[in-house]
Structures are given as structure tokens and as C-alpha cells.
């Protein structure tokens, strides 16, 4: 070993010990005679003192030439720092190393940015020199905590009898879902593998195989546009179990998340933080299928109150079967100009209009107040639990009205800083519809994926009223972000074929694309279900980070580029030829 101790472990109980340290020069303070070097590795920082009296002139010359981030090895004795010169800000601050020898293991040129200082370096520079960026304390902490979370998840699932099984990265392309990344086959020219969007079919087949509890920290690859919380490759804690009901998976995942949080934040979850609401309730009350419950406001239905008012627009809407929905935001003040901006935004979102009432105790200010009796005004305030602030109203189809108010709910919370950043708010959203109509494709598509089981009592509606069929699906939502999604799967080949045909996929097509899977289901597939957690998102949220790039060692930019390696890159003509490919676009210069 080139070292006997790390830079973070020495303390007063090591006094007098001869040690060898190795690490990076974090800083050098040259006093002409005596020279201090802060030596850093991922465990900490130790001050090494080079005194010309106890060092050969040759060695001292080398110390004088040190620069930031040079890699050195220092030999010396652990000594007590002179009284008054202790540094309480570092763990090793009571001791220092009186150096007797130094070896320079490697040099470092002047840096594009400082390693010590946190913050303000543009992200593109950070990514170009990711090895230096990762050397900084913030990224070291993020990746180490990510590792601890992964260990905690593995240990917990293993304790619960789950078996970690790897599934292929080279698999076949299937329709439905995200765009696939494709890999050309050399052995069968003209054919392609696809990289998996998730190990969905593999893990279901493992259930058929009798591995009744499977998990994997799985890479998932999707060729779609990037966002702060989306990378072309991300990691899921993917799990699946046989003979389970939704509640079994949910209880397991709650404990899993608890363990992960314990590992990352060193404090357990409050189990009361896992309410369950149905998709219908979520849309109605929050205008979203992933509501952020850190925000107090809830959307109310006030149609009945307006039904008896003389406010013609809402009364008429109510008579036509539309709903009047309201959103109250307490403790805010909005000028008429600001309100106008929201009204315009409502129109952009397709609302017929946006009404508002400013509330201040028993005082109501609004252009529509004169149409509403004082009794109804106070009922509105009471139903919306508001004493001071603003109530917004939208009259429309129920879902549309709620969705628009839901967008305002998020925007106002952000604008007025109504979200407490520290809190972690988990919930389950259940009973998603199985299917939705896609305007783009002019057919029904799955809300989750085509393998989600319909609720048994709704199966009979698959032909007659497919949009009414609910799935046995459940999403785990954290602070307004979907961090996990799962379901009970279809285990009957017949029902699976039925769902494919409801999706409008011709039998010939699904037999060709999913025939292997339908066949597997026939051979004694057990009832099964599972879930996948977006691991990057979970860690980023637990750490209070805006972007998952902060918890990924080598992320891509928004254009999908790696600034470190310059991937993606052109390939040699020879490689194309070997694969039987020819570019249909001009060669980039």
C-alpha cells in the first residue's frame, strides 16, 4: 500500500504514530520557512507540516513546487497541533503530520475550476471535466449516499426473500411505450436489438419461472427528450412478486422507501405519510394524477352554491351539467394586473374564463360579488377554508375545470413560496383508468402499459365502455413527482390477448411481437404484480436536488450528449459496412 492511513481518520489517540498518507493537495500555504499542505482524499483532510529543519533540502524543494491537486505521498509523525492553532472545522483539526519525507506521485496542471469551492461553475464546464467535478465534496457526498441507498435497498429486498436477477440489455423492440434505442445485429444483417425501456416482460417471465420474488437495480433506456428529472438511461429499483395483491406490494415498498430514506437521511419515515387516494379523487381535488400534498389548497366543487345564485354564467353552466370548481389560496395578495395574467393563462389552457374573489375576513372583493348573496359568499369562503386570500373559479367539464385549477395551484405555490422544501410527502394514487384515447394515434392506448390487469369487476366493460375500466395500478408519488409505478399484471393469456385487441393491435401483430410472452403465460403463469421505483429521482428528491444529473456520475446534456467523451460520435465506414448499414443523411463534417 502507498498509504497506511486515510486523510480523515487521524485524531489525538494516534499521537506519536508514524504514518504514510497519500492524496491530493487541497491547498499549500507557504510561509517561506514552514509550509502547510492540506492533503485530501474522500475520507477527509489532514494538515501536513513541512519544516525545513526536519526535511532534506531536496525534499523541501519538492514541497515548494507543489500545486493544487498534485498527488503526493507524505510520511511523518502524528503530533498535537500547538495550542491555539487547532482547526475545529475539520475532523482531524486537533492533530497534524510532522512530515519527514514526501514523494510526488503525479502532477496536475492548473485547474479549470476549484475543487474546494462549492457552487458556481457552469454545468457544461463541470460535465466536460466531470472527473474534477466528481472530486468535489458535493458530488462525492451525492454518489456515496446513492450507494448507501442502493445497499439498503438490496439488503432489505434480499432479507424479504427477493432474488436479484439480471435481465438482458439486448432485447427485442416492441411497440407501445417510449421510443427504443436500437442496436444493429452483425450476425443477422438488417435485424436489430432494442435496449430495454424496462425489464417488464423479463420479470414477468421470471414469475412464470417460479422465482416468486425478483428484484433488480435495472438500467432503463428510453430514446425520448431529456428534462431535469429525465435522462436517456436511468436506474429503477425494479421488483415483482407472485401471489400478491396491491396492498402487499404497497406495504413492501413503503418499508423499502423507509429503509432507503434511513440510509440517506439517517432518519425513518413517518408511516402516516402514505395516504392513498384514487385517481378520480386526485384529479378532482388536485387537478393532477401526481398531486403535491405539501400545498394545503384543495379544489372544491361549488356548483350547488352557484346553482341558486344570480350569476348567470355559472348558473347556466351548472344547468348544462358542467361543474363550477374553486381553488382557494390563503395568505396571498394579488393585484388586478396579476389576476389578469392568470385569467389570460386560463384562456390559453382552454377555459372559458376565470373568476376570482378576494377574501379578507367577511369582506369580499370581486367583479362577480354583486351577483352573489352574502350568505353564499360566506359559504364559499367556508367550504374553501379561507379567511384571507383569493378564491379562483372555473366552470367547465369537471376534469378540465380541476386540471386548470390544478395548474394554478402549483404555479401559485411556487410563486408565493408556499411549499416547505424540507418535508417529504409520499402518497399512493390508485385505481387508474386502464385505457385512454390517443388523439394522435386515433385509438385506445394503455395508461400504464398493456400488461396491467383490469379490476376484475370492470373486465366486462372492456368491449362496451373501455374508458371506464380501472386498472389494478398504483403510483407512488413524492412531493408532486411520480417516483414509482406498479400494478398487478395480467396472468391469463386469454385476457392479455383481449387487452391487445381492445388496444386495436391486430392479432397477427401481437402474435408476432408478443407471441413468446403469450405462450409463456399459458404455461402456468401465477398471479403476480410488482412495481418500479425511479431510483435517481428518489435519491435526488431525498437530497433536495433539482436535477437527477446531480446523483448520476456521467449524465447526458439536454441534447443527449456526453461532454466528457463527446458521445454520440460518428463511426467508421468499416463499422457501418460490417452492419450492413448506410446513412440516409449527409455525413456530418
**Site of interaction with RNA (CB under 7 A):** 27, 29-34, 36, 38, 47, 49, 51-53, 67-68, 81-82, 84-87, 89-90, 93, 96, 110-114, 116-117, 120-125, 176-179, 197-198, 200, 222, 224-230, 440, 445-450, 546-547, 549, 557-559, 561, 563
Least gap, CB of 426 to RNA (angstroms): 20
Least gap, CB of 66 to RNA (angstroms): 10
Instruction: Specify the 3-state DSSP secondary structure of 551.
Output: helix
Q: Which of 222, 571, 223 is nearest to 583 (CA)?
A: 571
Tell me the C-alpha distance between 382 and 276, whole Å: 26
CB 448 within 8 A of CB 489: no
Least gap, CB of 122 to RNA (angstroms): 3
Least gap, CB of 333 to RNA (angstroms): 25
Nearer to RNA, 90 or 543 (CB): 90
Nearer to RNA, 95 or 318 (CB): 95
Tell me the C-alpha distance between 357 and 355, whole Å: 7
Nearer to RNA, 241 or 391 (CB): 241
Nearer to RNA, 25 or 334 (CB): 25
Least gap, CB of 563 to RNA (angstroms): 6
Q: Which of 495, 451, 449, 443 is nearest to 467 (CA)?
A: 443
Nearer to RNA, 46 or 326 (CB): 46
Nearer to RNA, 176 or 255 (CB): 176
Listed in order, strand segments (DSSP E) in 410-452 are: 426-430, 435-438, 443-446
Tell me the C-alpha distance between 376 and 382, whole Å: 10
Least gap, CB of 80 to RNA (angstroms): 9
Q: Which of 524, 548, 546 is nearest to 536 (CA)?
A: 548
Least gap, CB of 286 to RNA (angstroms): 16
b vs e for 409-432, b when ≥16 Cβ sit within 10 Å of the residue's Cβ? bbebbeeeebbeeeebbbbbbbbb
Nearer to RNA, 384 or 487 (CB): 487
How far lies 132's CA from each of 112, 114, 117, 137, 316, in Å? 9, 9, 12, 11, 65
Cis peptide bond upstream of 562, omega within 30:
no
Tell me the C-alpha distance between 429 and 277, whole Å: 5
Angle at 234 between CA 232 and CA 235, to 5 degrees: 165
Least gap, CB of 104 to RNA (angstroms): 14
Nearer to RNA, 449 or 470 (CB): 449
Nearer to RNA, 67 or 385 (CB): 67
Say which DSSP state 419 is in.
S
Nearer to RNA, 51 or 378 (CB): 51
CB 440 within 8 A of CB 488: no
Q: Give residues with Cβ within 8 angstroms of 556, minimum separation 6.
A: 226, 231, 232, 562
Least gap, CB of 242 to RNA (angstroms): 19
Nearer to RNA, 322 or 489 (CB): 489
Least gap, CB of 450 to RNA (angstroms): 6
How far lies 30's CA from each of 55, 66, 189, 359, 553, in Å? 15, 10, 65, 66, 35
Nearer to RNA, 76 or 389 (CB): 76
Contacts 24+ apart (CB under 8 A), 304-310: 305/376, 305/379, 305/380, 305/383, 306/372, 306/376, 306/395, 308/376, 309/371, 309/372, 309/373, 309/376, 310/371, 310/372
Instruction: Specify the 3-state DSSP secondary structure of 529.
Output: strand
Nearer to RNA, 175 or 353 (CB): 175
Q: Give residues with Cβ within 8 angstroms of 508, minimum separation 6.
A: none
Least gap, CB of 440 to RNA (angstroms): 6
Tell me the C-alpha distance between 444 and 468, whole Å: 12
Tell me the C-alpha distance between 337 and 328, whole Å: 18
Least gap, CB of 221 to RNA (angstroms): 10
Least gap, CB of 37 to RNA (angstroms): 9
φ/ψ of 312, rounded to 5, equals -55, -45
Amino acid at each position: 500500500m502507498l498509504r497506511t492511513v486515510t486523510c480523515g481518520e487521524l485524531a489525538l489517540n494516534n499521537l506519536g504514530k508514524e504514518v504514510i498518507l497519500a492524496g491530493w493537495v487541497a491547498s499549500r500555504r507557504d510561509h517561506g520557512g514552514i509550509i502547510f499542505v492540506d492533503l485530501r482524499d474522500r475520507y477527509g483532510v489532514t494538515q501536513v507540516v513541512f519544516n525545513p529543519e526536519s526535511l532534506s533540502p531536496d525534499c523541501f524543494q519538492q514541497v515548494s513546487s507543489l500545486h493544487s491537486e498534485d498527488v503526493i505521498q507524505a510520511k511523518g509523525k502524528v503530533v498535537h497541533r500547538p495550542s491555539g492553532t487547532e482547526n475545529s472545522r475539520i475532523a482531524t483539526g486537533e492533530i497534524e503530520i510532522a512530515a519527514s519525507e514526501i514523494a510526488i506521485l503525479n502532477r496536475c496542471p492548473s485547474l479549470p475550476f476549484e475543487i474546494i469551492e462549492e457552487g458556481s461553475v457552469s454545468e457544461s464546464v463541470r460535465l466536460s471535466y466531470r472527473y474534477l467535478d466528481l472530486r468535489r465534496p458535493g458530488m462525492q457526498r451525492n454518489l456515496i449516499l446513492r450507494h448507501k441507498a442502493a445497499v439498503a435497498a438490496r439488503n432489505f429486498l434480499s432479507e424479504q426473500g427477493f432474488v436479484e436477477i439480471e435481465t438482458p440489455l439486448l432485447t427485442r423492440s416492441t411497440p407501445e411505450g417510449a421510443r427504443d434505442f436500437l442496436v444493429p445485429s452483425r450476425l443477422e444483417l438488417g435485424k436489430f436489438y432494442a435496449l430495454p425501456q424496462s425489464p417488464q416482460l423479463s420479470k414477468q417471465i421470471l414469475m412464470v419461472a417460479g422465482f416468486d420474488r425478483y428484484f433488480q437495480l435495472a438500467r432503463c433506456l428510453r430514446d425520448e427528450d431529456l428534462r431535469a428529472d429525465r435522462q436517456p438511461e436511468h436506474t429503477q429499483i425494479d421488483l415483482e412478486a407472485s401471489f400478491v395483491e396491491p396492498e402487499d406490494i404497497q406495504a413492501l415498498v413503503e418499508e423499502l422507501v423507509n429503509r432507503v430514506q434511513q440510509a440517506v437521511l439517517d432518519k425513518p419515515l413517518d408511516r402516516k405519510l402514505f395516504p392513498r387516494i384514487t385517481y378520480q379523487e386526485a384529479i378532482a381535488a388536485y387537478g393532477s394524477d401526481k398531486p403535491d400534498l405539501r400545498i394545503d389548497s384543495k379544489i372544491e366543487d361549488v356548483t350547488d352554491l352557484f346553482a341558486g345564485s344570480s350569476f348567470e354564467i355559472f348558473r347556466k353552466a351548472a344547468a348544462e351539467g358542467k361543474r363550477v370548481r374553486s381553488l382557494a389560496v390563503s395568505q396571498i395578495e394579488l393585484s388586478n394586473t396579476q389576476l389578469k395574467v392568470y385569467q389570460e393563462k386560463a384562456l390559453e389552457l382552454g377555459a372559458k374564463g376565470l373568476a376570482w374573489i378576494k377574501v379578507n375576513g367577511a369582506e369580499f372583493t370581486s367583479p362577480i360579488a354583486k351577483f352573489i348573496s352574502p350568505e353564499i359568499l360566506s359559504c364559499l369562503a367556508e367550504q374553501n377554508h379561507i379567511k384571507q386570500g383569493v378564491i379562483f373559479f372555473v366552470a367547465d367539464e369537471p376534469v378540465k375545470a380541476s386540471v386548470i385549477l390544478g395548474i394554478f395551484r402549483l404555479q401559485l405555490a411556487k410563486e408565493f413560496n408556499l411549499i416547505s422544501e424540507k418535508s417529504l410527502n409520499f402518497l399512493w394514487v390508485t385505481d387508474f383508468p386502464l385505457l385512454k384515447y390517443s388523439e394522435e394515434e386515433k385509438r385506445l392506448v394503455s395508461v400504464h402499459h398493456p400488461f396491467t390487469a383490469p379490476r376484475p369487476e370492470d373486465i366486462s366493460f372492456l368491449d362496451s365502455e373501455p374508458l371506464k375500466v380501472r386498472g389494478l395500478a398504483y403510483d407512488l408519488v413524492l412531493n408532486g413527482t411520480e417516483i414509482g409505478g406498479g400494478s398487478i399484471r395480467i396472468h391469463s393469456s386469454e385476457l392479455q390477448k383481449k387487452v391487445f385487441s381492445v388496444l386495436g393491435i391486430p392479432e397477427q401483430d401481437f402474435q408476432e411481437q408478443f407471441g413468446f410472452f403469450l405462450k409463456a403465460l399459458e404455461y402456468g403463469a401465477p398471479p403476480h404484480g410488482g412495481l418500479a421505483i425511479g431510483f435517481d429521482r428518489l435519491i435526488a428528491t431525498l437530497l433536495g436536488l433539482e436535477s437527477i444529473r446531480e446523483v448520476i456520475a456521467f449524465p447526458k446534456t439536454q441534447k443527449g450528449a456526453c461532454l466528457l467523451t463527446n458521445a454520440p460520435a460518428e463511426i467508421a465506414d468499416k463499422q457501418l459496412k460490417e452492419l450492413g448499414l448506410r446513412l440516409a443523411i449527409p455525413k456530418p463534417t
